[in-house]
């Protein structure tokens, strides 16, 4: 008997436009502009909404990006929306969900003045972000004056989720182009079926350190809970939402949670090379005591599950490197093999020590790319969002704004450029 | 209170006791933390932020615990690694003074979140 069975019906989107109804016809997504604005402005904390679209290949720059969300609708089982945040509590990961595949909601708006996070839809910048290939509905959100920063962040986060819910409804009665099925039984059942395959757990670290550095599971701020076991389908079906918006290159957007590449890949190998047991969601604390507690607890859960190996992915950079290596060291000491997925701050030439911490046990490490790599972004014909945010990129160092208006910046400014769950464009090669 | 906050953020000094105020940069704040760790203070919060943008912050606050009889090895390694990491990041960067007020606010908010994590243990 399966614990959860999820069908993801992908409706392939080939174009996006603003209009007077929300619908999908022949792969063209039309969004009811005034209807969506009115829907979002039901939240009295929102003063103004600007909607626009950005398509692959257009000389358009979106900045500063807060989050990216995939528009979806629940057509069977569970409840529509994001349980615990935009909808009542319900089980995610069971039943059928339709996805407007190829479309994305991109929320834009400053919460603090130093925000960056750029998506270029064309040229050099487009090479580095996976969201240059999606048909993007940009939702630029201005909030009422005087809101506290926490409330401001929450307002913008929830507006993006509600927009995804509103747009996703267009896929309710459409026959999907393809249907993916994800099912995983109890650990006992799967192990009985695949007794000889190595048992693998995925430990997903998420930033959980306060304002602009938070992650939510069913609406619960993960900072306040111990590491917890998740069925992989729950994350693929909207249980996990990003509240993190200052680490552009390696933040895990809500879209990337909904399409977690590590989960996809572990599912693909389940029953073939491995026995995929589930996901441990690991908070990243600021205090060393919190890091010790979370890493001890993660290893204990993996041991209780009988894991032979743990894949660990990080989010962010700096103090989370300590958590990553604590988990690695403790797992290896317990006889559990580890593979780490991270990104590198290896200097502009890529030759420096890549992490803020090291461990002899970290022998299998996958890099999502070098955050310090320098790219040159030519001027855009159109900027969606806040043009002044471009000066945040230009203001970092000498010579970053070239005579022709091009910007030199580090990859860390580009959304999703060095994803630590592998949902991005760069790849690793062995020399 | 069993903790000490080392900070160069004026917004923190305005609201908290048990303070070592550093009149200087974020880098100098980390150096002060290192010196105190070598005197025996243990690290309570990690000296680095969790996001690249906050690594560029001109303001930094770090929480230290009790002064121990001898140097805490783990704390010493972490602060040394953090200083070298911070230096590498800032090599090519100019101080971002245009957003001082926002950086002060964020540093204070993240410090408060750290203080809320498990204050009874300190």
Q: Which positions in chain A touch B101 (Cβ < 8 Å)?
A: 113
Which residue, among A288, A324, A326, would best test binding to B if mutated, counting the most B CBs under 10 Å from its CB? Answer: A288
Q: Which positions in chain B touch A345 (Cβ < 8 Å)?
A: 52, 85, 88-89
- The answer to whether the CB atoms of B45 and A345 lie below 8 A apart is no
Q: For chain B, give the percent of residues with pLDDT over 90.
A: 66
CA distances from B58 to A131, A346, B18, B98, B109 (A): 31, 22, 21, 10, 15
User: Is B122 a residue whose pLDDT tops 60?
Assistant: no
Check residue A246 and give its pLDDT.
79
User: Is A266 a residue whose pLDDT tops 60?
Assistant: yes
Task: Report the alpha-carbon distance of residue A386 to residue A395 in Å, rounded.
Answer: 15
User: Is B63 a residue whose pLDDT tops 60?
Assistant: yes
Task: Encode pLDDT of A23-54 as tens digits.
Answer: 999 999 999 999 999 999 999 999 999 999 99
Of A287, A317, A322, the CB nearest to B118: A287
Q: Is the dihedral of CA A263, A173, A54, A154 positive or negative?
A: negative
User: Is B41 a residue whose pLDDT tops 60?
Assistant: yes
Residue B32: phi, psi to the nearest 5? -60, -40
Of B49, B88, B113, the CB nearest to A347: B88
- The answer to whether the CB atoms of B52 and A412 lie below 8 A apart is yes
- The answer to whether the CB atoms of B51 and A317 lie below 8 A apart is yes
Task: Report the alpha-carbon distance of residue A247 to residue A320 in Å, rounded.
Answer: 12
Q: Which positions in chain A touch B50 (Cβ < 8 Å)?
A: 207, 209, 213, 247, 284, 286, 316-320
Q: Catalytic residue positions of A?
A: 245
Of A362, A339, A249, A419, nearest in space to A427 by CA = A419
Task: Report the alpha-carbon distance of residue A35 to residue A23 in Å, rounded.
Answer: 12
Average pLDDT over chain A, rounded to whole? 94
User: Is B17 or A148 the better-scoring residue by pLDDT?
Assistant: A148
User: Is B67 a residue whose pLDDT tops 80?
Assistant: yes
- The answer to whether the CB atoms of A319 and B48 lie below 8 A apart is yes
User: Is A352 a residue whose pLDDT tops 80?
Assistant: no
Closest approach of B23 to chain A, Cα-based (Å): 23
Q: Which residues contact A361 (CB under 8 A, 6 or more apart)?
A: A325, A328, A329, A332, A333, A338
Identify whether the C-beta of residue A87 lies closer than 8 Å to the C-beta of residue A272: no
Task: Encode pLDDT of A294-345 as tens digits.
Answer: 999 999 999 999 999 999 999 998 899 999 999 999 999 999 999 999 998 8
Task: Find, in chain B, the residue whose alpha carbon is nearest to that of A411.
Answer: B52
Helix axes A288-304, A320-333, angle to 10 degrees: 40
Q: Is A211 helix (H, G, I), strand (E, B) or coil?
A: coil
Check residue A398 and give its pLDDT.
66
Task: Report the alpha-carbon distance of residue A72 to residue A218 in Å, rounded.
Answer: 16
Q: What is the mean pLDDT of residues B102-106?
A: 94
- The answer to whether the CB atoms of B114 and A209 lie below 8 A apart is yes
Closest approach of A339 to chain B, Cα-based (Å): 21
Q: ∠A399-A401-A405 over CA atoms, to 5°?
A: 145
Of B78, B109, B117, the CB nearest to A211: B109
For the ranges A109-118, A235-244, A322-331, A348-357, the lowest mean pLDDT is seen at A348-357
Read off the pLDDT band of B118 (50, 70, 90): low
Q: What is the mean pLDDT of residues A269-291?
A: 97
Q: What is the mean pLDDT of residues A169-189?
A: 97
User: Is B93 a residue whose pLDDT tops 80?
Assistant: no
Read off the pLDDT band of B15 (50, 70, 90): low
- The answer to whether the CB atoms of B52 and A392 lie below 8 A apart is no
**pTM of the predicted model, to two decimals?**
0.96
Task: Find, in chain B, the residue whose alpha carbon is nearest to that of A208.
Answer: B50
Helix axes B73-90, A288-304, angle to 10 degrees: 110
Of B92, B84, B93, nearest in space to B58 by CA = B93
Count each helix (H run) and each strand (E run) in chain B, helices first: 5, 4
Is residue A366 left, alpha or beta, with left meaning phi > 0 and alpha meaning psi from -120 to 50? beta
Read off the pLDDT band of A176 (50, 70, 90): very high
Of B89, B105, B118, the CB nearest to A289: B118
Task: Encode pLDDT of A194-251 as tens digits.
Answer: 999 999 999 999 999 999 999 999 999 999 999 999 999 999 999 999 999 877 999 9
Joined together, the tokens standing for residue A349 give 């030439």
Task: Report the alpha-carbon distance of residue A311 to residue A198 in Å, rounded.
Answer: 12
User: Is A20 a residue whose pLDDT tops 60?
Assistant: yes
Whether complex ipTM tops 0.90:
yes
User: Is B14 a residue whose pLDDT tops 90?
Assistant: no
Q: Which positions in chain B touch A213 (Cβ < 8 Å)?
A: 50-51, 54, 110
Any bridge partners for residue A103, and if so which?
A: A101, A135
Average pLDDT over chain B, rounded to whole? 89
Q: What is the mean pLDDT of residues A129-157?
A: 96
Task: Find, in chain A, the residue whose alpha carbon is nearest to that of B96.
Answer: A396
Q: What is the mean pLDDT of residues A70-93?
A: 97
- The answer to whether the CB atoms of A318 and B98 lie below 8 A apart is no
- The answer to whether the CB atoms of A318 and B54 lie below 8 A apart is yes
Q: For chain A, give the percent of residues with pLDDT over 70.
A: 98
User: Is B1 a residue whose pLDDT tops 80?
Assistant: no
Identify whether the C-beta of residue B105 lies closer than 8 Å to the C-beta of residue B11: yes
Task: Find, in chain A, the residue whose alpha carbon is nearest to that of B88.
Answer: A347
Read off the pLDDT band of B52 (50, 70, 90): confident
Q: Where does A282-411 have alpha helices with state H?
A: 288-304, 320-333, 388-394
Task: Find, in chain B, the residue whose alpha carbon is nearest to that of A287.
Answer: B45
Q: Is the dihedral of CA A170, A177, A418, A377 positive or negative?
A: negative
Check residue A259 and give its pLDDT.
98
Check residue B120 and give its pLDDT.
60
Task: Report the alpha-carbon distance of residue B85 to residue B82 in Å, rounded.
Answer: 5
- The answer to whether the CB atoms of A371 and B52 lie below 8 A apart is yes
CB pairs under 8 A between A and B: 145
Closest approach of A323 to chain B, Cα-based (Å): 11
- The answer to whether the CB atoms of A322 and B78 lie below 8 A apart is yes
């Amino acid at each position: 008997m399966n614990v959860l069975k999820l069908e993801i019906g992908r409706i392939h989107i080939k174009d996006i436009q603003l209009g007077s109804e929300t619908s999908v016809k022949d792969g063209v997504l039309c969004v009811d502009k005034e209807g969506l604005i009115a829907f979002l402005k039901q939240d009295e904390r929102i003063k103004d909404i600007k909607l626009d679209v950005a398509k692959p290949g257009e000389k358009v720059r979106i900045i500063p990006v807060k989050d990216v969300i995939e528009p979806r609708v629940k057509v069977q089982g569970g409840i529509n929306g994001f349980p615990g945040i935009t909808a009542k509590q319900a089980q995610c990961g069971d039943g059928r969900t339709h996805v407007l595949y190829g479309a994305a909601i991109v929320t834009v708006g400053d919460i603090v003045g130093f925000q960056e996070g750029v998506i270029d839809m064309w040229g050099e910048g487009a090479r580095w972000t996976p969201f240059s290939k999606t048909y993007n509905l940009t939702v630029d959100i201005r909030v009422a004056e005087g809101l506290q920063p926490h409330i401001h962040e929450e307002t913008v986060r929830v507006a993006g989720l509600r927009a995804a819910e509103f747009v996703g409804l267009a896929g309710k009665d459409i026959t999907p182009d393809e249907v993916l099925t994800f099912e995983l039984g109890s650990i006992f059942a799967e192990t009985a079926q695949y007794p000889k395959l190595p048992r693998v757990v995925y430990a997903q670290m998420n930033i959980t350190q306060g304002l602009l550095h938070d992650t939510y599971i069913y609406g619960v701020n993960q900072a306040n809970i111990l590491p917890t076991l998740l069925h992989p389908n729950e994350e693929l079906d909207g249980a996990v939402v990003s509240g993190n918006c200052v680490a552009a290159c390696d933040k895990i957007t809500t879209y990337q949670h909904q399409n977690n590449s590590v989960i996809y890949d572990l599912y693909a190998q389940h029953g073939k090379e491995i026995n995929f047991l589930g996901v441990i969601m690991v908070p990243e604390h600021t205090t060393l005591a919190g890091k010790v507690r979370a890493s001890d607890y993660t290893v204990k859960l993996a041991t209780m599950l009988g894991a032979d190996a743990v894949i660990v992915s990080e989010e962010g950079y700096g103090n989370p490197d300590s958590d990553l290596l604590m988990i690695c060291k403790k797992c290896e000491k317990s006889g559990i093999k580890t593979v780490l997925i991270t990104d590198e701050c290896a200097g502009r030439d890529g030759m420096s020590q890549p992490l803020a911490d090291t461990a002899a046990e970290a022998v299998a490490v996958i890099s999502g790319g070098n955050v310090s790599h320098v790219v040159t972004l030519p001027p855009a014909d159109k900027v969606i969002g806040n043009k002044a945010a471009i000066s945040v990129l230009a203001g970092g160092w000498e010579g970053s704004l070239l005579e022709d208006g091009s910007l030199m910046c580090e990859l860390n400014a580009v959304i999703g450029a060095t994803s630590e769950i592998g949902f991005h464009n760069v790849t690793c090669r062995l020399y | 209170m069993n903790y000490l906050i080392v900070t160069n953020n004026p917004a923190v000094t305005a609201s908290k006791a048990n303070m070592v105020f550093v009149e200087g940069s974020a880098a100098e704040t980390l150096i002060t933390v290192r010196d105190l760790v070598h005197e025996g203070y243990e690290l309570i919060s990690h000296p680095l932020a969790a996001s690249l943008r906050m690594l560029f912050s001109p303001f930094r606050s770090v929480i230290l615990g009790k002064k121990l009889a001898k140097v805490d090895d783990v704390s010493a390694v972490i602060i040394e690694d953090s200083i070298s990491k911070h230096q590498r990041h800032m090599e090519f960067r100019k101080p971002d003074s245009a957003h001082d007020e926002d950086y002060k606010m964020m540093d204070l908010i993240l410090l408060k979140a750290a203080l809320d994590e498990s204050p009874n243990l300190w």
